[in-house]
Amino acid sequence: MEKIKLMLVDDEERFLVTTRKLMEKKGFSVETANSGITALEKLKQVEVHVIVLDVKMPGMDGLTVLKEIKTLYPLVEVIMLTGHATIESAIDGLKLGATDYLMKPTDLEDLMIKVNDAYTKRQTLEEKIRVAQSKKYLKFSQDSIKEEG
Amino acid sequence: MKHNHYEAKKRIILASMILVPVIPFILALGFGYYFFATSIESSTIASMKRIASDHSHMIEAFLLERKADIEFILYSNSFDEVCNSEKLTHHFSLLKKKSTAFVDLGIINAEGVHLTYCGPFALSGKNYKHEEWFLAVMQKGWYISDVFLGYRQVPHFVIAIMRQEGDKRWIIRATIDTQFFNQLVEKVQISTTGEAYIVNHMGVFQTTRRSGGRLLERDPEYLIYPGYNDEIKTFIQKDNMNTWYLYATTWFKEMKWLMIVRLQKKDAFKSLRSAIYVNMTISIFGIIMIIATAFYLTGRIIDRLKRMDAEKDELGQQLIRAGRLAELGEMAAGFAHEINNPLQIIKSEQTLIMMIFNDLKDRGELKESEDLIELEDSIHQIKQQIERCAHITQAILKFARKTDPEAQDIDLTSFISDVVNMKEKQASVNGIRITTRIDKDIPFIHGDIPQLQQVLVNLINNGMDAIIERHGSTGGEILISANKHKNGKVAIHIKDDGSGISQENIKKIFTPFFTTKPVGKGTGLGLSVCYGIVDKMKGELIVTSEKDNGTTFTITLPASE
């Protein structure tokens, strides 16, 4: 099975390092970015399935990054990570297209579950797209056969 | 200090409430009395003066008339004619017809010998040449004597007139009955103590005085009478009996007689005295009324003031508390948020350690030993403590939550019984009975169900803890009641008969992290979270408590429209 490509975006360097180690041990392929800008830069170069995005970061704010990602890469699943126990930022994130949210401090277990769920959701979506595209292709080829015929 | 402050205020209000009406009141009464007194005095004095003057004129006129009577006899007859006893008797009888005042009538020659006499006494041949009246009439031409005894040893006075024809001089003399004259003078009647009498220039009574003083006695007060003067004198003087009298005196014009009219002062100013009594009564009554009213009103004002101050203090404290809590909330939220980041890292690190530790164990690189078990336990403990920290920060963030609750109409009847059902089992384990009393017509309230539930559960938990603290497992009672409150609000009361809260602690009860529970048992955030929730719902959370007697929490929330 294909490794889930995960990206962690947080301004806490040590969090990135440790979580990367943990997730890699659990069999994920992990990219890290310590700011929104870096994350967007890296996304241009590598393919990522799921992003875990901290809501509150210096510089580019988590919600702005989310908006940007969703515009450029609508298929990328984003899980918001919030320091606030308040649901408000999470709700805002969900409205903007985030798949789910997690509250700090979060368990590795929870993180893995949510990342897997997000990946599954993405897989399902990709599958649907593939089916649709193949139907379209089929129809196209049938039409061209008819024309030829 | 507060007490003194009220006392001072009370004194000021009392003083102004008494003085402001009393001063004009006394001034009005005083001036009224003064003008009344002066007008009474002047009218009394004026009437005394009038009486004195009328009376003296009347008496003088009487005497001058009598003088004119005998003058007529003297000049209408020759010396010989008047010396004729029959003729003189005829004239005397005519005189007596005219005025009964005449006692006798006689003719005296220049040598002082009584030539003819008609009257009740045998006075013919008497010689008067050394008598005072005779000398005076010879010198002056006419004379009205003072009252004297004379030969007859009866008090009388005489009117004598001299006629001169060439070298020949003769005198006609008439005696006036003092009794008659007395009556004339005495008939003045002013009030009950008023009297009139006459004294001569020596202070000897010429008429009797009703209040004591016989004819020809010396008037004991004469010496302080004013001197000769045309005017009528009025004055107030004490007599020898120590009675105050109001006097009016005037000298006769033709004689050295003093007309005296006097009236006892207390009689003269009787109406004034009754005015004083009335005045005093009104003053005393009025002042008592003013003072009583002032005391009553001041008492009420001070009470009102105290109540208002207490309410103000209470309100001020509530505002301070609310402000402090809001500030604390903000600070706590920032703090919690900042703690969560390092907490996340610690948690990750712990997970990593655990993972590596397990890997090492799996690979047999760690030998089973006591230390290993302790190490594992310790790592496990770190995880637990992180969880604990996470709970605290989450509670803080809930307290400081800024979002509006998701409001909906709540039927308190079912809502409260749901909450009670939830807690009933736990309560009965400790022997605690939860009863509810909800008004039938209780309006719906507008609020967030899970949040309000949290508040109620929290308050019930606190109540149970307090009951257990006080009664142990013997149990107690929690009463949850709900009723309509003023200003379109609904009140929910959670009353327990537990251990209560001390006065000192009650002020800090809503402050985050304030707890009286043992370490690890409570975060001290429960009530502050409740407070935050109720505050967000535009309600109020109030506590009243008595140490060792129980606590009541009251939630007031706006009823839904």
The CATH number that applies at residue B56 is 3.30.450.20
- Residue B428 touches chain A, beta carbons under 8 Å: no
**In chain B, which stretches have pLDDT less than 70?**
1-3, 222-230, 398-406, 519-522
How high is the pLDDT of residue A31? Answer: 94
How high is the pLDDT of residue B230? Answer: 67
Q: Which residue of B has its CA nearest to A16?
A: B345
Per the CB < 8 A criterion, the answer to whether B394 and B333 are in contact is: no
Other Cβ atoms within 10 Å of B445 Cβ, number: 25
What CATH number is attached to the domain comprising B438? 3.30.565.10
Residue of B337, B338, B339, B345 to mutate, testing the A interface (most A Cβ within 10 Å of its Cβ): B345
Query: Where among B248, B268, B288 does a domain terminate?
Result: B268
CB contact under 8 A, B397 and A12: no
Domain co-membership, B232 together with B332:
no
Where are any strands of DSSP class E within B290-414?
408-410
Domain co-membership, B249 together with B300:
no
- Nearest-angstrom CA–CA distance, B404 and B464: 30
| Residues 6-25 in A contacting B (C-alpha not used; CB under 8 Å) | 12, 14-15, 18-19, 21-22, 25
| Confidence check: pLDDT of A78 > 60 | yes
Domains annotated on chain A, with CATH: 5-148 (3.40.50.2300)
Residue matched to tokens 């599958």: A127
How high is the pLDDT of residue A34? Answer: 92
Domain co-membership, B42 together with B54:
yes
| Confidence check: pLDDT of A144 > 70 | yes
CB contact under 8 A, B348 and A84: no
- Nearest-angstrom CA–CA distance, B328 and A98: 32
Of B429, B405, B433, nearest in space to B420 by CA: B433
Burial bucket for residue A60 (CB in 10 Å: 0-12, 13-18, 19+)? middle
Per the CB < 8 A criterion, the answer to whether B208 and B182 are in contact is: yes
| Confidence check: pLDDT of A50 > 90 | yes
Chain A residues with CB under 8 Å of B392 CB are none
How large is the average pLDDT for residues A34-39?
92
- Hey, what are B321's tokens? 């508390």
Query: Where among B341, B369, B399 does a domain terminate?
Result: B399
Of the candidates B340, B349, B355, which has its C-beta nearest A104's C-beta? B340
* Global ipTM: 0.82
- Nearest-angstrom CA–CA distance, B308 and A3: 74
Domain co-membership, B395 together with B415:
no
How large is the average pLDDT for residues A7-28?
92
Query: Where among B338, B364, B399 does a domain terminate?
Result: B399
Number of domains making up chain B: 3
- Nearest-angstrom CA–CA distance, B387 and B393: 10
Of the candidates A12, A84, A103, which has its C-beta nearest B345's C-beta? A12
Domain co-membership, B178 together with B50:
yes
| Residues 75-114 in A contacting B (C-alpha not used; CB under 8 Å) | 83-88, 103-108
Domain co-membership, B382 together with B278:
yes
Q: How far is CA B353 from the centre of its chain?
A: 89
User: What distance in Å separates residue B410's CA from the closest CA in chain A?
Assistant: 23
How many cross-chain Cβ pairs, A to B, lie less than 8 Å apart? 59
Domain co-membership, B239 together with B324:
no
The CA angle A93-A96-A99, to the nearest 5 degrees, is 65
pLDDT tens-digit series, residues B234-254: 888 888 778 888 888 888 887
Domain co-membership, B100 together with B206:
yes
- Residue B351 touches chain A, beta carbons under 8 Å: yes
Domain range for B349 is: 272-399
How high is the pLDDT of residue B422? Answer: 83
Domain co-membership, B188 together with B281:
no
Domain co-membership, B289 together with B247:
no
Domain co-membership, B198 together with B303:
no
Question: Residue B373 to residues B125, B180, B358: CA-CA distances in angstroms?
Answer: 176, 153, 12
- Nearest-angstrom CA–CA distance, B65 and B174: 12
Per-residue b/e over B163-188, b at no fewer than 16 CB within 10 Å? beeeeebbbbbbbbbbeebbebbeeb
- Nearest-angstrom CA–CA distance, B531 and B482: 18
Pairing state between β B168-177 and B102-109: antiparallel
Domain co-membership, B59 together with B174:
yes
